[in-house]
Structure 1
């Protein structure tokens, strides 16, 4: 009988060839589905928009929007001021104000340049021939990132930083208070560096620096603690599960490059419950909308962080597999 410390025999070459030949196409198909499917099916789905003005004047527009097969979720406002406030509070992406001077479209390209363009096209198509629709960008995207590309692209590096943090915590076998301390320190520094780059150098973040740094740090902590916690419970399989969930599903389902309401279901809704989607929504809120709409996604990130730290503690007590594949000794429970 081989000793527990003896190296495991290598799998037969034929078995390895079959596994590679089967797994690689499956992974490629899954990646294409996760990244290409949402991008190929972009369309408004219950997209919150506002309509403001006298009821008699706005009724035809409301009926027209409501008739577009659930594309828009129409909110009614008394006037332009109320519609502007709703946009600034991230209750709607835009609003059409109908007055004696003609229709005016209020947008918020900072919330989603893709949605702002979609609303311009939709409202222009509904207007009578020869009618000019005035457009006002209530909360404009920063001039250095008018299409929101830089903000959307920032989620993948944050996700990778979080995954790397979790892997390193597990790989170095940190136990007791050292693992949470390492996660918190790495997340805080990563958030500060990312905020410095995005706010100071690139100029794509224009809100309160501390709020941006805190949001970015919480995003890294959510991913890092989840990966470290899953690794503490499941070993290397936990790292794979965490990385696939965050990178393969979380990033393409985040809606950061467009909007969650433009993604096919259930991708749009699911993405907001994963760290990248929650981080993207929270970052837009603190960077461009004075924190309005950030409470929900920040809570999601906090829940992921709490889950990861709890799993980390539970895995340590259960003696989960360590980096060498052997079970770690259970941590002694504190004396009563």
Structure 2
């Protein structure tokens, strides 16, 4: 048996388990280590009682990042601005909890459990959902599941541009066209049909399209720079790293460090955060994620254009003329 097929056989046998192990690590490890880590939470009310409650929450080994507010109105504003995930308001009748299930149903449930554990046994804590998740998706399941199809769409767009050998302006036009159409179709499905996102329709379509563009441009840009291997590298980065590290099904602050921070710097995580902002919070706290997506898209498109120019042959290259040799005399 030839040596080359044997080496390919061994490579396949070893590579598949490595990819499976990487996928299990990326998806299962963050979920198994989910816990609050510096989760922004507000405390409002009179100084003595509010101070004691803040100390109780701070004693949870860095689980919460406490923000103090003078009134319930200020705490509500902070929740609506996405500065905190929720707030505990100390009143003469006892503590009251303000949550925002639209920011993450898992976080809202965690805050209920934490505040109930901090209070007296058998005492029910009133809960007000300041920014509620839509009735069509109260657990945020559909929103959490929407990021993976966007990542697949972006990878497919970048792969198609590479396989079809589109260069320069044609490649950029193809990526922009795919992103725009996917954004419109995805918004029509999730907003108009399912009703799981409820913000401004065109802002949602733009967010979905920009996420696909950032992923597709990155994949195509890597392929333009390093060849077909760039498609595999981009796919691994976006699907096996970016998707599970995005924190869209829970919250970045619930993932192990530095997974949550890394995920927010990748397009799937930034896209999920931006979609929450435009869908439920009127675009508040959207600047950072939008800038991250724009940077990925710009860098990827620049690499696509630069790589295409580098691979094109030089124009007006003189053709080689066959040398004429004198006929040999017999």
Please indicate the TM-score interval, normalised by the length of the shorter structure: over 0.9
Shift of 1:16: 1.8
Closer/same/farther in 2, CA of residues 116 and 20 from structure 1, 3 Å limit: same
Match of 1:329 in 2: 313
Shift of 1:331: 7.5
Match of 2:9 in 1: 17
Q: How does 1:284-299 map to 2 (within 5 A)?
A: 284-299=276-291
- Residue aligned with 2:238, SS: helix
- 228-237 or 34-43: bigger deviation: 228-237
**Which of residues 190, 201, 206 is equivalent to 2:182?**
190
Q: How does 1:91-110 map to 2 (within 5 A)?
A: 91-110=83-102
Shift of 1:330: 5.5
**Which of residues 51, 55, 64 is equivalent to 2:56?**
64
**Inter-partner Cα distance in structure 1 for 2:53 and 2:314:** 66
> Who wins on radius of gyration, i.e. which is larger?
2
Shift of 1:14: 1.7
Q: How does 1:136-215 map to 2 (within 5 A)?
A: 136-215=128-207
**Inter-partner Cα distance in structure 1 for 2:13 and 2:261:** 34
Q: How does 1:20-31 map to 2 (within 5 A)?
A: 20-31=12-23
Shift of 1:11: 6.6
What TM-score do you get using the length of structure 2 for normalisation?
0.93
- 124-133 or 34-43: bigger deviation: 124-133
Question: Given the alignment of the two structures, is residue 274 of structure 1 paired with residue 266 of structure 2, yes or no?
Answer: yes
Structure 2, unmatched stretches of 5+, are: 317-330
**Inter-partner Cα distance in structure 2 for 1:289 and 1:26:** 41
Number of aligned positions between the proteins: 315
Closer/same/farther in 2, CA of residues 146 and 174 from structure 1, 3 Å limit: same
Contact 2:43 2:54 in 1 (8 A): yes
Contact 1:34 1:252 in 2 (8 A): yes
Contact 1:112 1:259 in 2 (8 A): yes
**Inter-partner Cα distance in structure 1 for 2:294 and 2:283:** 16
Q: How does 1:46-125 map to 2 (within 5 A)?
A: 46-125=38-117
Match of 1:322 in 2: none
Shift of 1:82: 0.2
**Inter-partner Cα distance in structure 2 for 1:39 and 1:19:** 30
Contact 2:141 2:249 in 1 (8 A): yes
- Residue aligned with 1:249, SS: helix
- Residue aligned with 1:207, SS: coil
Match of 2:319 in 1: none
Shift of 1:167: 1.1
Closer/same/farther in 2, CA of residues 133 and 331 from structure 1, 3 Å limit: farther
- Residue aligned with 1:177, SS: helix
Instruction: Write out the 4+ residue segments of structure 1 that deviate beyond 6 Å after TM superposition.
Output: none
Match of 1:132 in 2: 124
Contact 2:162 2:228 in 1 (8 A): no
Contact 1:317 1:330 in 2 (8 A): no
Shift of 1:175: 2.1
Question: Given the alignment of the two structures, is residue 241 of structure 1 paired with residue 225 of structure 2, yes or no?
Answer: no
Contact 1:316 1:331 in 2 (8 A): no
